[in-house]
Amino acid sequence: MPELPEVEVTRRALLEPLHGRVVRGATLGKPLRWPLECEPGSLAGQRVERLDRRGKYLLLGLQRGQLIVHLGMSGSLRWLQGAEEDLPPPGPHEHFRLLTDRGELRMNDPRRFGAVIWHAVPGPPHPLLSRLGPEPLDDDFDGARLWRAVHERRSAIKLLLLDQSVVAGVGNIYACEALFRAGIDPRTPGRRLSRQRCALLAAELRATLQQAVRAGGSTLRDFCSSDGTQGHFQLEALVYGRAGQPCRRCARPLAHVAQGQRSTYFCRSCQRR
C-alpha cells in the first residue's frame, strides 16, 4: 500500500487545486526513503503544469522538470488552501511541504518509506520509471501483451503481477482480487497460462482497478485521499483479507498462503491452475 488505485485517486483529487499554481519553495522534515536530489529553494518560481501518474508514482510536472512522488507504505498527500500564515503548523509526520501561491501540498508519511524526488528535463528517464511495464488501465494493455510478458516465466502468476516490469502499479490486494475474478490459481506458473486465460486476466485486472478507483482505493491503515477521505474498496474485496471466510461464489473457506513474503488469498475450488 498504496497501489495504483490509491495513487490515481490522489492524482484526481489534486489535479484541480494544484494545476497552474506557482511554487514559492519547499521544506523538508525527517529524511524519506530517497533524497530530494535538489535544493528545495531551486523549485521556487516554477509553475505546476501537469499532474500525471506512472504505476505507483505520482508525477508533478513543473516547467524545468518533475517531482516524482512515491507514497511508500504509509504515505498520503494533503492539499491545504490559503496563505501560509493562516495554515496549521506541520504535524510530526509531514516530512515534505510544497509551498505555492495558493496553498500547500503536504506529504504525511509515518513510516518514511515514501519519497519525493526531483528529476530535471530534458534528460533520460529517471531509473525509477524507465523499468516500469505497461499501464494496466491504458488502451494498449491487453491479454496478448500480458501473455508475451509471462509465457516463458516459471514464476507464479501472482508474483509476476507484482513485478513492476511486467505490469505497472499492481500490488498485493488487486493481484489477489483479479486472479480470483479470472479463476486462476495464484500459484500457477506464468508459462502455463494460455493466451485465452491471459486475455481474461488482463480484462479482470483492468476491471478490478477501475472498481477500486471508483471506491476511492483501499484504506487498510494510513491511506486517505488529499481531502482526508478514506477508501472503501477493502469492503468490496472478494478474497483479500478473508482467509477462512466463505467464498462468495462457492461458499467454501478461502485459503491463505505466503508468496514472496506477501499474503495471498484465494479459493481452492474456484481458482484453477
Residue 2 known to be catalytic:
yes
Nearest residue to 263 via CA among 247, 239, 235, 233: 239
d(CA 269, CA 197): 17
Number of C-beta neighbours around residue 14 at 10 A: 21
Residue 262 known to be catalytic:
yes
What are the grid coordinates assigned to 156, written together?
507464479
Residue 89 known to be catalytic:
no
d(CA 215, CA 132): 25
Helix-then-strand count for the chain, H and E: 6, 10
Residue 236 known to be catalytic:
no
| Secondary element (H or E) of residue 196 | helix 195-214
Point out the catalytic residue in the list 21, 56, 78, 106: 56
- CB-based contact 55:135 (threshold 8 Å): yes
Instruction: Supply the residues annotated as catalytic.
Output: 2-3, 56, 262
